[in-house]
Amino acid sequence: MKRNMGKIDKIVRSAVAVIIALLVYYELVQGMLSYVLLAVAAVFVLTSLTGDKP
């Protein structure tokens, strides 16, 4: 399977995932939105590690 994600895209997705995690950790985002954002962050991390976009 051919990878369809560049180096810059991986870095941006990882950075956004870290920012989301910090927002939730420091409780700047709470409630249901925090769970949704954590799910998005998990997808970003997984796609960054595998190199494939969903």
Model pLDDT for residues 29-47, shown as the tens digit of each residue: 999 999 999 999 999 999 9
Domain that holds residue 30: 7-50
Q: How far apart are CA 21 and CA 31, in angstroms?
A: 14
CA dihedral (14, 17, 21, 23) positive or negative? positive
- Could you tell me if residue 2 is inside a domain? no
**Closest among 8, 14, 7 to 42, alpha carbons compared:** 14
- Could you tell me if residue 12 is inside a domain? yes
- Could you tell me if residue 14 is inside a domain? yes
Indicate whether 6 pLDDT > 80: yes
Residue whose structure tokens are 């991986």: 10
Indicate whether 1 pLDDT > 70: no
Q: Are 41 and 21 in contact (CB under 8 A)?
A: yes
Residue type, 24: V
- pTM: predicted TM-score of the whole model, two decimal places: 0.86
Residue 22 CA, chain-centre distance (Å), reads 12
